[in-house]
Homo-oligomer: A and B are copies of this chain.
Amino acid sequence: MGTADRPTPPPAATPRPRPRLATPITVALVLLPLALLLGVLRLGSALYEAPAAAVSAAAGHTGGALPRLLLALPVVLLACRAGAALCRRIGQPPVVGEIAVGVLLGPTLLGAVCPQAQSWLFPAQLAPCTDILGQLGLLSFMFLVGLELDLKALRGSGRTAVAVSQAGMVVPLLCGALLALGMYPSLAPDGVAYLPFALFLAVSMSITAFPVLARILADKGLTGTRLGTLALACAAVDDVTAWCLLALVVAVGQSGSPLDALWTALLTVGFAALMLTVVRPLLARLAARAARRGAPRGPGVLIALFAGLCLAALVTDRIGVHAVFGAFLFGVVTPRGSIEVERAAERLHSVAVPLLLPLFFVHTGLRADFGVLGADASAWLWCGAVLAAAVLGKWGGSTAAARLSGQGPRDALSLGALMNCRGVTELVVINIGLDLGLIGPELFTMLVLMALATTAMTAPAVSALLRRRGGDGHDGHGAERLPDPELRTPVGV
């Protein structure tokens, strides 16, 4: 059992060259140049005996807005996420939680309980940044709403939808104008004429939130039913009408003379016509050609869509109606059906909206202060009046219109309840009103509360109506599925 028994080393079966590296070589390889390096550094230090002054210019540079944003962004995102999760658990659409969190992070709760925390979390220097980020999220969102708005889906129930929606908008417009008649002396900002104030309030009463509605319908399993399809079609018509009315209001509110307003309105109509008649076929042809050449790899389509929505938003902003109108319009004219466009939209939807839109809710929440209403009984009365006018006008008006156009009573009531959902669209509208100075912070707060309340009441109301309908069997085929719903996944929120 001597040296002879020692097993021979196995032959290197693999042709892979083993690294000949020995530890001493590594050490030498690293240490030698390292020693040289230290020598050179020492030599240089000796040569240029500069005072070892701190690079004082540095401290201010890496400071600034970035660290503030790196704190505020996660706080906002996580808080909104928590609010959304809570709402989903209690059967509410997540957007209710996100709007509520935005309000709670503002002067209403955080600012009232701990003003230092609020000004530390959202310092004034940060506002331009978060506002811009929120606006980019909002523009992406509005683009997706426009893209979602498949005008073809209107064909089936087009006439009824247009009738219900238009009639269902005129009643809340009337309610808003009546409300403005009473409110104007006490709640209109100084220097605002009655006409823009009343027009704005009227439009803000008549809003339906298309995306939140789609979400609620999906949650209730109504997507593709007759009621669901009709509601979506009505909401789509509502959306288009509301944006056109808003464009008009902004034109009236922003330009001094009626001539200017007319000019703005003309430009807007011209731009919309250009988008629909020239840009839409052009984009469709481009998309068809791209599809023939094979799907392009990489983020090209996403970049093209994002650039397009920015440019369209820029045009409408320059015209004098709001940037969101352009983004929405670009969504409407973007050709559907291509896988690449679907994928780019899905990506925008799954990244830009969840990461950026919460900043818009916070932007809104920071401007709303329920503390202002707190002391004043008449303010709360007005707040109640706003809510009542909104609910009666939209729910009542839509129900009446639906009933007159031949829907059963329960279906008409359900349709009215769905149309009463205001969601993000309402927030966009009232932020524009505040930006334009058409309403003051007090009325803004009331309208935020109204938006929150009408959005939150939709899902329970529809649930209750559907449950009762199951019993009386009056219109049982309301939940019958259409053969080809032609409905895409809702934009969500």
Interface residues of A (CB under 8 A from B): 15-21, 25-26, 29-30, 33-34, 36-37, 40-41, 43-45, 47-48, 50-59, 61-62, 64-67, 69-71, 73-74, 77-78, 81, 85, 128-129, 132-133, 135-136, 159-160, 163, 166-167, 170-171, 173-174, 177-178, 180-181, 184-185, 191-196, 198-199, 202, 226, 253-257, 298-300, 302-304, 306-308, 310-311, 313-314, 317-318, 322-323, 347-348, 350-352, 354-355, 397, 401, 404-408, 435-438, 477
Question: Which residues of B lie under 8 Å from residue A41 when comparing CB positions?
Answer: 177, 194-195, 198-199
Which residues of chain B come closer than 8 Å to A67, judged between CB atoms? 314, 317-318, 323
Q: State whether A128 touches B65 (Cβ < 8 A).
A: yes
Determine whether the beta carbon of B170 is less than 8 Å from that of A62.
no
- On whether the beta carbons of B323 and A58 are closer than 8 Å, the reply is no
Q: A256-B52, A406-B18 are in contact. Are A29 and B323 (CB under 8 A)?
A: no
Residue pair B406, A20 in contact (C-beta under 8 Å): yes
Smallest Cβ-Cβ distance to A50: which chain B residue: B193
Q: Of B21, B70, B170, B171, which one neighbours A159 at CB under 8 angstroms? A: B21
Copies in the complex: 2
Per CB-CB distance, the 5 closest pairs between chain A and chain B, nearest first, are A54-B256, A74-B307, A299-B354, A351-B351, A20-B406
Contact A198 B40 (CB under 8 A): yes
Given contacts A51-B193, A302-B350, A401-B29, contact A253 B406 (CB under 8 A): no
Measured between beta carbons, the chain B residues less than 8 angstroms from A45 are 193-195
Q: Are B351 and A21 in contact (CB under 8 A)?
A: no
Out of B300, B354, B435, name the residue touching A302 (CB < 8 Å). Answer: B354
Q: How far is B48's CA from A127's CA once the two chains are assembled, in angstroms?
A: 36
Residues of chain B with a CB closer than 8 A to A253's CB:
55, 58
How far is A97 from B52 in the complex, measured between Cα atoms in Å? 40
Q: Which residue of B lies closest to A192 (CB)?
A: B55
> With a CB–CB cut-off of 8 A, which chain B residues contact A47?
181, 184, 194
Q: Which residue of B lies closest to A166 (CB)?
A: B30
Please state if B58 and A185 are interface contacts (CB–CB under 8 Å). no
B16 and A226: CB pair below 8 A?
A: yes
Contacts of A74 in B (CB 8 A): 306-308, 310-311
How close is A92's CB to chain B, nearest CB, in angstroms? 15
Q: Please judge, given known A-B contacts A40-B174, A347-B350, A351-B351, whether A317 and B184 are in contact too, CB under 8 Å.
A: no
Q: What B residues does A408 contact at CB under 8 A?
A: 17
B37 and A167 contact, CB distance less than 8 A = no
Q: Contacts of A26 on B, CB cut-off 8 Å?
A: 163, 166-167, 405
If the complex has contacts A66-B132, A307-B74, are A435 and B61 also in contact, measured as CB distance less than 8 A?
yes
A81 touches B303 (CB 8 A): yes
Taking A170-B37, A354-B303 as contacts, is the C-beta distance between A55 and B196 under 8 angstroms? yes
Would A19 and B256 be within 8 Å (CB), given that A30-B167, A184-B48, A302-B350 are in contact?
A: no
- Chain B residue contacts of A178, Cβ below 8 A: 40
Say whether B16 contacts A70, CB under 8 Å: no
Whether B160 and A19, one on each chain, are in contact in the complex, defined by CB atoms closer than 8 angstroms, is yes
| Bound form: Cα–Cα A160–B69 in Å | 42
State A73–B44 Cα separation when bound (angstroms). 45
Query: Do A404 and B307 have beta carbons less than 8 Å apart?
Result: no
B135 touches A132 (CB 8 A): no
Residues of B within 8 A of A129 (CB): 128-129, 132
CA separation between A195 and B352, bound complex, in Å?
43
17 more contacts with CB within 8 A, not counting A51-B193, A74-B311, A351-B352, are A16-B477, A18-B406, A21-B163, A21-B404, A30-B166, A30-B170, A37-B174, A40-B177, A44-B184, A48-B185, A50-B194, A52-B256, A55-B191, A57-B436, A77-B306, A299-B351, A299-B354
